[in-house]
Amino acid sequence: MAPPRGHQAPWFSFVVHLRSRDDLDRWATTSTVRGEAAEGWRERVMSGPPLVASTISFRTAPVNGNLIVIPRLPQDIIFGEGPKLVARAVEIAAARGARVVGLAGLTAPATRGGESLLPTLPHGVTLTNGNSYTAAVSCANVREACRFLGRERPSVAVVGSTGSVGMAASRLLAEDEEVDLTLIGRTTERARKAGPDPGGRVTYSGRIEDAAAADVVLTLTHDRSARLRPDLFDGARERVIVDVAQPTNVEYEKRGAFAARRVRVVRGGWVLMPGGVSSQDHKKVMTDGDPDAAPGSAPACLAETCLFAADGIHAHAVGPGSADLGRLLEQIAARRGVHVAPLSLEAAGSSGLAVDVAGR
């Protein structure tokens, strides 16, 4: 596939998928996606190939990129033809001249964190799955939630600690000696095998119920067996759930039930880019319908892709996230004016949470 005439090669391409049919309807308000308003257009779009939706730029930074959308729902990415479509999206990105390709949402798990894409990855293209910087940003979110609660020695539980983001986040959190940490995986043995072992401050569990004992719960998985429920919490004291899962672990319309148990549920994993993100389709596919997305914000996985491109990082970041890479990207982000977006903790305590909101 040759680049279009007059095409300027992007610094990066960012591959996403639809979170829901609502995303398709929002996205399809653009003529380039919907075309003529003929009957059956949704079915045509959702059976078609990945599409270059728009450019992504930043008002105070020279980095620019493409947003490539795979028009499929989450279950199609994981259980359907997702891997082939992700590979096709990467081919499109490389053909347009992108030197860094970032994976978002379930495009990473569908390709073993990007590892299955490496054998056919064009020469000169760097692949990143966003796991490392997402882990670092998630830990910053946890620290903010702990400060908000103001407890002398807060307890933190990580749900999904054995996952591609969870392992790196667990290692970063275990470095904080002022926090008692509980790491929760599918089984206690798996959590212990994947996690750090810095002494008696870390406990391991295979029970989602154990998350309810913590002051702050960081959830990094949307797996049905690890869904947090309001009835797990006794309401005896205030708690915070930082939800970084894609799609979300806690559905937005259920937040009111958590608030009734004195549990604030907030979205984590967001950053503020220098000057904000300029891309209507990025907004439609990634932030609309998300009440926690601040204006000009971007998910940490997109920020990682931008940082790779801006700093000329050529080593692939595939598979599970790396705590060391997370620390390095934090340093690069600080130097380039990228900041962790504040959590919407005050809003999470309001009665407005009972209102239904279209979520991811």
Measured distance CA(97)–CA(192) in Å, rounded: 43
Q: Within a domain: residue 360?
A: no
pLDDT score, position 285: 46
Please indicate, yes or no, whether residues 201 and 349 belong to a single structural domain of this protein.
Answer: yes
Cα(275)–Cα(310) distance, rounded to whole angstroms?
A: 15
The pLDDT-based confidence of 46 (bands split at 50, 70, 90) is confident
Residues 309 and 347 in one domain: no
What percentage of residues in the chain have a pLDDT greater than 70? Answer: 82
- Is the residue at 3 inside a domain? no
Q: Which residues contact 331 (CB under 8 A, 6 or more apart)?
A: none
CA 328, 322, 203, 235 dihedral sign is positive
Residues 214 and 296 in one domain: no
233 and 290 share a domain? Answer: no
Say if CB 57 and CB 274 are below 8 A apart.
no
Please say if the pLDDT value at position 22 is more than 90.
no
pLDDT score of 351 more than 50: no
Residues 6+ apart with CB under 8 A from 18: 24, 27, 46, 69, 70, 71, 72, 73, 74, 285
pTM of the entire structure?
Answer: 0.88
Structural domain contains residue 319: yes
Residue 263 lies in a domain: yes
Indicate if the pLDDT at residue 172 is higher than 70. yes
Condensed to tens digits (0 to 9), the pLDDT of residues 222-281 reads: 898 999 999 999 999 999 999 999 889 999 899 999 999 999 999 999 999 876 665 544
Q: Could you identify the residue written with the tokens 């105070």?
A: 60
Burial of 201 (0-12, 13-18, 19+ CB in 10 A): middle
Number of compact structural domains in the chain: 2
pLDDT digits (tens, 9 = 90+) for 275-322: 666 554 444 445 445 666 666 688 999 999 999 999 999 999 999 999
Domain of 203 in residue numbering reads as 134-271+342-354
- CA torsion angle 188 160 355 277 (round to 10): 170
Model confidence pLDDT, tens digit, residues 192-201: 998 887 666 7
pLDDT at 53: 83
Q: Is the confidence at residue 358, as pLDDT, over 90? A: no
Task: Based on the fold, state whether residues 257 and 278 are members of the same structural domain.
Answer: no
In this structure, are 122 and 210 located in the same domain?
Answer: no
Looking at the structure, do residues 77 and 165 belong to the same domain, yes or no? Answer: no
Residues 200 and 347 in one domain: yes
> Are 145 and 251 in the same domain?
yes
- pLDDT greater at residue 282 or residue 353: 282
In this prediction, residue 92 has a pLDDT band, given cuts at 50, 70 and 90, of very high
- In this prediction, residue 4 carries a pLDDT of 43
Give the pLDDT band of residue 33 (cuts 50, 70, 90).
low
Domain membership of residue 4 (yes or no) is no
Would you place residue 3 in the very low, low, confident or very high pLDDT band (cuts 50, 70, 90)? Answer: very low
**If you average pLDDT over every residue of the chain, what do you get?**
86
Report whether 206 contacts 191 (CB < 8 A). Answer: yes
The predicted model gives 156-185 an average pLDDT of: 95
Q: Provide the pLDDT for residue 280.
A: 47
The reply to whether 75 falls in a domain is yes
Helix, strand, coil % over all residues of the chain, rounded to 5 = 40, 20, 40
What amino acid is encoded at 21 in this protein? Answer: R
Do 83 and 180 reside in the same domain of the chain?
no
* Domain at 195, CATH number: 3.40.50.720
Percent of the chain with pLDDT over 90: 65
96 shares a domain with 140: no
Is 320 within a domain?
yes
Q: Is a pLDDT exceeding 70 seen at residue 2? A: no
Q: Is 98 inside a domain boundary?
A: yes
* Residues 267, 176 share a domain: yes
Lowest mean pLDDT among 4-18, 108-122, 158-172: 4-18
8 Å CB contact between 52 and 65: no
Question: Over 80: is that where the pLDDT of 177 sits?
Answer: yes
